[in-house]
Structure 1
Amino acid sequence: MPDRTQNGAAGAAGRAPSADRPDAVRNVVLVGHSGAGKTTLVEALLAATGTIQRTGRVEDGGTVSDFDEVEVRQQRSINLALAPLTHNGIKINLLDTPGYADFVGDLRAGLRAADAALFVVSAAEGVDGLTRMIWEECATVGMPRAVVITKIDHQRADFDDVVASCQAAFGDGVAPLYLPVVAGGKVSGLIGLLSEKFFDYSGGGRAETEPGPAYREQIETYRGGLIEGIIQESEDESLMDRYLSGEHIDTKALIEDLEKAVARGGFYPVLATCAGHACDTVVGMAELLEIITQGFPSPMEHPLPEVTTIDGRPVTGLSCDPDGPLLAEVVKTTSDPYVGRISLVRVFSGTLRPDMVVHVSGHGMADRGHEDHDVDERIGALSSPLGKLQRTTAACVAGDICAVAKLSRAETGDTLSAKDRPLLVTAWDMPDPLLPVAIQAKSKADEDKLAQALGRLVAEDPTLRLENNAETRQLVLWCMGEAHADVLLDHLAGRHGVEVERVDLRVPLRETFGGKAKAMGRNVKQTGGHGQYAICHLEVEPLPSGGGLEFVDKIVGGVVPRQFIPSVEKGVRAQMERGVLAGYPVVDIRVTLYDGKAHAVDSSDMAFQIAGQLALKEAAGKVQMLLLEPVDEVTVLVEDEHVGGVMSDMSSRRGRVIGTEPVGTGRTLVRAEVPQLEISRYAIDLRSISHGTGTFHRSFLRYEPLPSHLADRLRAATE
């Protein structure tokens, strides 16, 4: 393994790693909570392979993974970042993902582009709820996984405890391959549990020696569990009997079975590492690279996502073949002020080359502001990104990942295919954004630029939903959380030069009649020439929730001519839309037209429309008017230990818990009905209540009367 140095120039960063065949590629996503050390680990691997010659955050550009202006300022990952390197002839595409729940869209993009996952766990912090949830998602699709324990030199680190917590959180098949040797708070090396050798890093290199007798008991304890785990996944059914009978099992055979089990996603090795400026010696990179290159599968061994034609017919027979039909997917879109739009693309079949004309197929998320696409575009330059540096590459074969410049129409989630054989990759699951943030431009100049800037943000971020609410006349960004919202507004200002400010979110209320009332609408005006003459008598009474408008005609004797009766109804409907007292639409009433007068010359359609409006407003002044608030049906999925907290919180929001039901092992689904006025910030509050493990969905249910004290407060605010 090359020596790692802390200082110096970019070294080999100018040379783009390349692959000419799928079996020479490994696509690996790094998953873990914020602060676990994913970015530090990526840079240590880049340095270990000679791709870069220094690691750590630098003042002028952040890190290789964190170079966005917001990431540099906040010193945390918020974007999916690709870091390619080469080791022993294998190109490794490391996909560094954010560890914060607000940026789960980039996390899922990394999972989509990868064929295996490294779960990064801090020895000082352990396993968090989000990491456990992602592990379960990977288990569902059978993705191969390994666990990397970082910060083993931390003063709070306890290797035995963190391994036990990983086994408790991730289940069977999790076992360490190496034991770290820590003395005086410093890591000197690793003990291989299969080879029973000590790999000494204290001299700056990697020397192989015998472990001391002090570690014998710990080696035997972990080694037995490791061998049993490997044998359980072995295709040789006789191995277990031979092992239990005391027969020595050849180490080479165990390693071969281990690699096969890891590639199948049946066994999950645990490795210990030490990297970053806090470590005197970087430890564990050679062992980790060995697992990635020899244990993790190539793209040829990982199944392709489901593919259809544009009209939805299933497509079969595709494989990870560089000579096959082109099939690729945009997994990440970013905007560069100098280069323009840059698309990170995973190629599943065929080979992508510069200047190719490809078909761009849409992704079916029009409800979030992402329009469907069905256009041809010319591929721009291909590159292999490393931080801010875009290193040109001649082609991108099936199984590889590259960046494509100037795809002006393609967005995150879109499919690229041959123009004469357009295909569509089934979209990956994306969580619903459930935090509404109302914004408005600070100036007329900002307002003019806002639509274009938001369009670019929507193209980049499939977790963002843009809503122009016609009823409340507000522009609403539906976000994943507060940090997500802050980053979006930061990008609007910094990247697009658009200043906006947050405003209070308005909830679309309704009005209805609290009792029965009669009123007359009189529209009589005499002017020179034709005047206006229309009189109508209405009776208004409330209907049950959801009743809408029921218009009843009880005119007898022609006191209101037949042609003007629809005019009265039209006027009533128009006034219902505008509201009668607080300015909210009126719903759920029966309006009966039972009397009126007309004039042979001055009566008209418009005159009776106005009369209908006046009558409805007069009736509203004679009875109590009720304000109605929208109520949502809310389902919350949480771990059992947080159910009580969720139910108590629902009650504090004027919610009604309808019921609970178990979901799988250790989780409960809570169903409740909650007013929208009380739930706008629930995405933030639930994360706090459930320690980041809870998820929820909401959908409109019905309107209900607003409590009188809240109604009075709202009416006072509108006066």
Structure 2
Amino acid sequence: MPDTAAVRASPCLPAAGWLDGRVSAAPGDLAARLAGQTAPLAGQVQAIKSALVELAAETDDSLIEKYLGGETLSPQELAAGLRAAVLQRKLVPVYACMAPRGLGITELLEGICRLFPSPADRPLRDAEGRPVDSSPTAPFVGFVWRTVNDPYVGQMHFIYVCGGTLVADTEVVNANKEQRERLAQFVELNGKKSTPLDEARAGDIIAVTKLKVTSLGDTLCQAGTKVVFAPYQFPNPVMWYAVSGKTQADEDKIGTALQRVAEEDPTIHVERNTDTRETILSGMGDVHLAVAVERMKRRSGVDVTLSTPKVPYKETVTARGEGHYKHKKQSGGRGQYGEVYLRVEPLPPGDEEWFVDAVVGGVIPGNFIPAVQKGVVDGMSRGCVAGYPVVNVKSSVYDGSYHEVDSSEISFKIAASRAFKDAMSKARPVLLEPIMTVKVT
């Protein structure tokens, strides 16, 4: 087998001109700039050609005999041999392309048509390893391999017809969700042009809108047939940024825009960090996330800013402290009244009793104690050091007062939250740095 580097370095097929020494056809101005610079590569090109010819010959006995006999293989024989090498997984074509300049695109498309296996060569298999009949007369099976959000038609699903024939206005079954979908219309896309189709056969790629439950990775089947393909295995994110709208108008629309981007690209993750109160956008790298940001601006009209995520600190106390707050408000009619005395201290390891009702004598009626507990929880959500969540703290309510008319749950909740912050500020509060487990692979 030829050297791996040599195989990787060959970007073209016989039909694309590599036999006569041309690596790829370039646009006019680029071709002029490259003129004279390819001559030093002639030796490498010849070595790559020889390696590929040898690899093509090894796939067939008649070709190897001809090759060893010193005869020259025809372009058709080379193409057949290279295709066989791809089918046997001895060759993995790698193409160098530059889409904006059109460089390498023709070679890539020719390579897909000439080298890559058809369903007849390598039958598709479902999640359990069973082959799927790809003939046009088989029951319809389609796989949703891409989803996009079009600003004019809404969510659009791209379906690869794996087997059978699909006729317009047909009811099918989503095998993953076990629900029915109606494919009223579907189109064939060619750039920005869409052509309505009456039917689609095995091997076709169609676009469908107005599906209710279908999402990326789902399998659609003819009623009475159940085929489910193995789910996509997407890589984990490697880059994280905090994302926020540049203006208040952008902030109001950012949730919908992020959801649409994540639906289209499953390697984009959006989550809310409750500790730092930030929305985190993650993906496969800076360029990947930059494309997602540009897509949000172009399709949803949302401008966002990416920044380094905050460190998710926690807060706690290192000593005992007591706090007090009286909430009293009168603005005509029924007022608000609630008074709470609270004690905080470090929570011993293994002690799950983080809230203690130590009130005696009924100074705070029992029906208001749950409101006091909710107020403590509210106070723990934002500590007094830097506003981070509070952990490992034991709170005890031990005194207070109430008013027979003006006291209410909201009054005691507010009083308890303020009393907690007062007590924490007197209990030598500290920041806790995060400790994480890192697995290097």
TM over 0.5: yes
Shift of 1:414: 2.5
Distance 2:96 2:245 in 1: 47
Relative to structure 1, the CA distance from residue 319 to residue 592 in structure 2 (aligned partners, 3 Å threshold; closer, same or farther) is same
2:290 aligns with: 486
The one-letter amino acid of 2:72's match is: F
Q: Give 1:54-65 correspondences, 5 Å limit.
A: 56=26
Distance 1:291 1:518 in 2: 79
Is the CA contact 2:10–2:94 (under 8 Å) kept in the aligned structure 1? no
Distance 1:261 1:195 in 2: 21
Q: What 5-or-longer segments of structure 2 have no aligned partner?
A: 19-23, 30-37, 59-64
Equivalent in 251, 268, 281 of residue 477 of structure 1:
281
Distance 1:156 1:534 in 2: 89
Shift of 1:508: 3.9
Shift of 1:306: 1.4
Distance 2:49 2:428 in 1: 64
Q: Give 1:143-222 correspondences, 5 Å limit.
A: 154=41, 157=44, 176-177=55-56, 193=67, 196-199=70-73
Task: Describe the SS at the equivalent of 1:320.
Answer: coil
The one-letter amino acid of 1:441's match is: G
Equivalent in 419, 425, 436 of residue 632 of structure 1:
436
Q: Give 1:486-635 correspondences, 5 Å limit.
A: 486-523=290-327, 534-543=338-347, 550-598=354-402, 603-635=407-439
Distance 1:576 1:290 in 2: 62
Equivalent in 111, 127, 137 of residue 306 of structure 1:
127
Is the CA contact 2:143–2:217 (under 8 Å) kept in the aligned structure 1? yes
2:166 paired with 1:352: yes
Shift of 1:485: 0.5
Relative to structure 1, the CA distance from residue 393 to residue 636 in structure 2 (aligned partners, 3 Å threshold; closer, same or farther) is farther
Distance 1:326 1:261 in 2: 31
Is the CA contact 1:327–1:415 (under 8 Å) kept in the aligned structure 2? yes
Higher strand share: 1
2:115 aligns with: 292
Task: Describe the SS at the equivalent of 2:234.
Answer: coil
Distance 1:159 1:47 in 2: 13
Q: Give 1:36-55 correspondences, 5 Å limit.
A: 41=12
1:221 aligns with: none
1:108 aligns with: none
TM normalised by structure 2 equals: 0.70
Equivalent in 365, 372, 380 of residue 185 of structure 2:
380
Relative to structure 1, the CA distance from residue 261 to residue 46 in structure 2 (aligned partners, 3 Å threshold; closer, same or farther) is closer
Q: Give 1:329-344 correspondences, 5 Å limit.
A: 329-334=143-148, 343-344=157-158
Task: Describe the SS at the equivalent of 2:440.
Answer: strand
The one-letter amino acid of 1:397's match is: R
Q: Deviations over 1:408-440 (max 9, x none)?
A: 554432222225656543312111224223333
Shift of 1:565: 3.1
Q: Deviations over 1:321-354 (max 9, x none)?
A: 4323222112123456678765443222322344
1:404 aligns with: 207
The one-letter amino acid of 2:120's match is: P
Aligned residues with identical type, % of pairs? 30
2:62 aligns with: none
Is the CA contact 1:152–1:273 (under 8 Å) kept in the aligned structure 2? no
Q: Deviations over 1:557-595 (max 9, x none)?
A: 444443333332222122222433422222221112334
Q: What 5-or-longer segments of structure 1 have no aligned partner?
A: 1-31, 49-53, 60-150, 167-174, 180-190, 201-205, 209-254, 308-314, 363-371, 638-719
Is the CA contact 1:376–1:419 (under 8 Å) kept in the aligned structure 2? no
Relative to structure 1, the CA distance from residue 55 to residue 152 in structure 2 (aligned partners, 3 Å threshold; closer, same or farther) is closer
Is the CA contact 1:304–1:348 (under 8 Å) kept in the aligned structure 2? no
The one-letter amino acid of 2:393's match is: I
The one-letter amino acid of 1:417's match is: C
Task: Describe the SS at the equivalent of 2:438.
Answer: strand
1:268 aligns with: 90
Is the CA contact 1:517–1:619 (under 8 Å) kept in the aligned structure 2? yes
Q: Deviations over 1:374-415 (max 9, x none)?
A: 451325344374x556677764433x1413243555443222
Is the CA contact 2:143–2:219 (under 8 Å) kept in the aligned structure 1? yes
Q: Give 1:393-432 correspondences, 5 Å limit.
A: 395-398=199-202, 400-406=203-209, 410-419=214-223, 421=225, 424-432=228-236
Task: Describe the SS at the equivalent of 2:381.
Answer: helix
How many residue pairs match? The answer is 409
